[in-house]
Chains A and B, each alone.
Chain A
Amino acid sequence: MSKSEKKYGDHLKLKKLNSIIKKNNCEKSALISTLLDIQSEYNYLPKEALIMVAKEMDIPLNQIYSVATFYKVFSLQPRGEHIINVCLGTACHVRGGGRIIDEIRRELKLKDNGGTTEDMKFTLEPVRCLGCCASGPVIVVDNEYHSQVTPKNVNKILKKYSDGRKVKKIIGSQDKNA
């Protein structure tokens, strides 16, 4: 069991979890929104939490697992401290978004287009279009948008997060008009 799994898994703040489930009135239709809330609380969907949701909401665990694996936003694995979303929308793709993700992968030594680094610092999660198509390629780290990223300034951005310093927005090449 990894360090962070222990941190979350053993000490699930049960009260908090209860209040999330209660907030959504135990309505079966609120399953997805309950899971979203749980994920934003714990950073991923811990197994214990899903078992509890099954009990409280009276939904077979199987069905919850099925929903949790269907939607891409849910993670059943603990995620890193910083979450990197790389936009792979069409506009970012034609502007070289694929090369940005390659670069991040190499920089973080990740095998796939996604996953968490061994030191639990970063989790890479590609997304399909953030709707910032004019500023592509776009990456979002911890909800901060970085636009017009180039393979060259990827490591600059990552480094600032791994150092734990507050990051000033890094914007790639400015416009010709400017």
Chain B
Amino acid sequence: MINLRIDGLDVQAEDGWTILETCQFYGIDIPTLCYDHGLSPYGACRLCLVEIGEGKNAKLVSSCTYPALEGLKVKSHSNRIIKARKIVIELMIARCPNSKTLQDLASKYNVQKIRFKIKHEDCLLCGLCVRMCKEQMMSGAIDFIGRGKDRRITTAFDEKSDLCRTCGGCMYICPICELRCQGPDPPGAVCGSCLEMSPTCLDFSSEAQCFMVESGCGTCVRNPIKKNVNEMEE
């Protein structure tokens, strides 16, 4: 057993637990997005930040990837964390304004203004689908391509992959496109951006295989489907 202290509370963690798992065990609420207990932790979304250490050496780490260590002192809701989380949420919404998951988070953390240009992407690059495909579906048909701002999720050469069994696991787990905000509810200033809602991929495809049809790829609302949007408008 590992002894550590979270928010002033002495707690015990099993060997191999992360900070997040320990917090969840004790019912301490930590928001997550790229984490799923059935998949390996990835640490990409930076939402589950906690503060470890004390004084000058205190730093923020993602609790989903940081192991629970003996004698560790953890804070889960310090001012520093909240400030960082708010910016993280702001950055997320600036990228994907249509996600209900994100809008709810913004509402919860009282993020009221987006100071950056809205991008209208439909993928946050959290990598849940990539890990789902690889780890749970044992397939590995999709992966991250490119790097930095050009990073996206797709199949090799954007072509239908032989490995894909069109199981739809990737769509099932996506926090962005699977669940779209249906309007300004709950009320919050950020929700204004929802006005430019684009339909979800499920609106176009009754079968759960939109990923791999033709040159369809990675995240659903891409070129071939966009064509459909125009048709619908007409």
Q: Which residues of A contact B (CB under 8 A)?
A: 47, 50, 60-66, 69-70
The stretch that binds A, out of B114-122, B136-144, B225-233, is B136-144
User: Which residues of chain A are near B142, meaning CB under 8 Å?
Assistant: 62
**Distance A65 CA – B142 CA, assembled complex (angstroms):** 10
Are B155 and A69 touching (Cβ within 8 A)? no
Are B146 and A61 touching (Cβ within 8 A)? no
**Distance A66 CA – B134 CA, assembled complex (angstroms):** 14
User: Which residues of chain B are near A62, meaning CB under 8 Å?
Assistant: 140-143, 155-156, 161, 163
Are B141 and A69 touching (Cβ within 8 A)? no
User: Which residues of chain A are near B143, meaning CB under 8 Å?
Assistant: 62-63, 65-66
User: Which residues of chain A are near B144, meaning CB under 8 Å?
Assistant: 66
11 A-B pairs besides A62-B143, A62-B161, A63-B143 with CB distance below 8 A are A47-B157, A60-B163, A61-B156, A62-B140, A62-B163, A63-B140, A65-B143, A65-B145, A65-B156, A66-B145, A70-B146
User: Which residues of chain B are near A47, meaning CB under 8 Å?
Assistant: 157
Are B140 and A69 touching (Cβ within 8 A)? no
When C-beta atoms are compared, the residue in chain A nearest to B156 turns out to be A65
B37 interface residue per 8 A CB criterion: no
B56 nearest CB across to chain A (Å): 31
User: Which residues of chain A are near B140, meaning CB under 8 Å?
Assistant: 60, 62-63
When C-beta atoms are compared, the residue in chain A nearest to B142 turns out to be A62
